[in-house]
Amino acid sequence: MTEARPDLPTDDRPWVYLASQSPRRRQLLEQWGVTAVPLLPDADEDPEALECVQPGEAPLVYVRRVTRLKLRAAEARRQRRGWPAGLVLCADTTVADGGDILGKPADAADAACMLQRLSGRRHQVLTAVAVARGRREWLAVNRSTVTFKPLTAEDIAAYIATGEPFGKAGAYGIQGRAGLWARRITGSYTGIMGLPAYETAELLRRAGLSLR
User: Which residue type occupies 40?
Assistant: L
Q: E strands within the chain?
A: 15-18, 35-38, 88-97, 100-102, 122-133, 136-148, 182-186
Q: Are 164 and 176 in contact (CB under 8 A)?
A: yes
Q: What is the distance between the alpha carbons of residues 161 and 156, in angstroms, rounded to a whole number?
A: 9
Please indicate whether residue 92 is annotated as part of the active site: yes
Q: How far is CA 45 from the centre of its chain?
A: 18
Question: What type of residue sits at position 31?
Answer: Q
Does an H or E element contain 89, and which?
strand 88-97
Q: Which entry of 7, 46, 92, 107 is annotated as an active-site residue?
A: 92
Contacts of 136 (CB under 8 A, 6+ apart): 207
Name which of 109, 123, 130 is nearest 192 in CA terms. 123
What is the H or E stretch that residue 202 is in?
Answer: helix 197-206
Known catalytic residues?
92
